[in-house]
């Protein structure tokens, strides 16, 4: 029996990186996985890979910045599978990272917030509504940059800091209302994902060397490292864990 056996999980940003690794792991642990993204070809490929391995999976196109799309996907999940047990708000973008603050266009700032923070808020809002009767676990992907900052990351850091405190606030609200809904945030460090890879590519070999030299372990993490933490928070093993921040960063914040 898997660690999330007989649970229904909705995972946003599931077409690549941490979202993909989480979807694959939860499927191996016997969850019914509904993965969503705006990258339809990649998302469908992930779903096919999971299905070929014997997992229970469905893929849906889903823009997390669109409230109507949130209402639609959760209604579809509940109609098809009867409930929603796990929600992983993972979709995110790097936005205006690498740009001096005085050069960030307001449109770019709002675009970063729309995906990274508004998208999580909408997921939490409609996820809590769907879980009010049966309970569940909501896991929001933040970042180590929700705790500390690097130069030229003002928009991204602000969005991830918002996710961190939104998660804690809703966790406390659910507890105060007597709802059996746990809300936690996950804070990856430098993980070898397409997003981090894109930042390294823009910065060149010096950027990669700077990242590696900043790591106590001397290496970046893998998406699977984060997926294991998300799985723990989603499972009944974490039934007493809410309002917490799970940092998975190879010791970066311990320096």
The catalytic residues are 156
SS3 state of residue 8: strand
Give 106: exposed, middle or buried? Use CB within 10 Å, 0-12, 13-18, 19+. exposed
CB-CB neighbours of 87 under 10 Å: 29
Give the burial string for 209-231 (b: 16+ CB within 10 Å, else e).
eebeeebeeeebbebebbbebbb
Question: DSSP per residue over 73-106, as a string?
Answer: HHHHHHHHHS---EEEE-----TTTTS-GGG--H
Q: How far is CA 155 from CA 110, 121, 196, in A?
A: 9, 17, 16
At 6, is the secondary structure helix, strand, or coil? coil
> Coil, strand or helix: which one is 195?
helix
**65 touches 38 (CB < 8 A):** no
Strands 56-61 and 245-248: unpaired
């Amino acid at each position: 029996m898997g660690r999330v056996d007989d649970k229904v999980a909705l995972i946003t940003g599931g077409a690549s990186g941490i979202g993909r690794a989480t979807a694959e792991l939860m499927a191996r642990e016997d969850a019914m996985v509904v993965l969503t993204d705006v990258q339809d070809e990649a998302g469908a490929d992930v779903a096919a890979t999971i299905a070929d391995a014997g997992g229970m999976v469905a893929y849906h196109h889903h823009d997390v910045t669109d409230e109507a799309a949130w209402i639609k996907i959760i209604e579809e999940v509940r109609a098809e599978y009867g409930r929603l047990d796990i929600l992983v708000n993972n979709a995110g973008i790097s936005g205006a990272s690498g740009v001096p603050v005085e050069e960030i266009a307001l449109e770019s700032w709002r675009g970063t917030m729309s995906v990274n923070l508004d998208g999580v808020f909408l997921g939490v809002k409609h996820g809590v509504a769907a879980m009010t009767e049966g309970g569940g676990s909501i896991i929001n992907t933040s970042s180590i940059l929700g705790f500390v900052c690097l130069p030229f990351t003002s928009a991204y850091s602000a969005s991830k800091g918002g996710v961190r405190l939104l998660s804690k606030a809703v966790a406390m609200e659910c507890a105060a209302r007597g709802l059996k809904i746990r809300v936690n945030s996950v804070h990856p460090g430098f993980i070898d994902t397409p997003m981090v890879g894109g930042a390294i590519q823009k910065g060149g070999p010096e950027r990669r060397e700077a990242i590696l030299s900043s790591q106590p372990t001397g290496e970046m993490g893998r998406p699977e490292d984060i997926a294991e933490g998300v799985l723990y928070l989603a499972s009944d093993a974490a039934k007493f864990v809410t309002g917490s921040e799970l940092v998975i960063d190879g010791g970066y914040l311990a320096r």
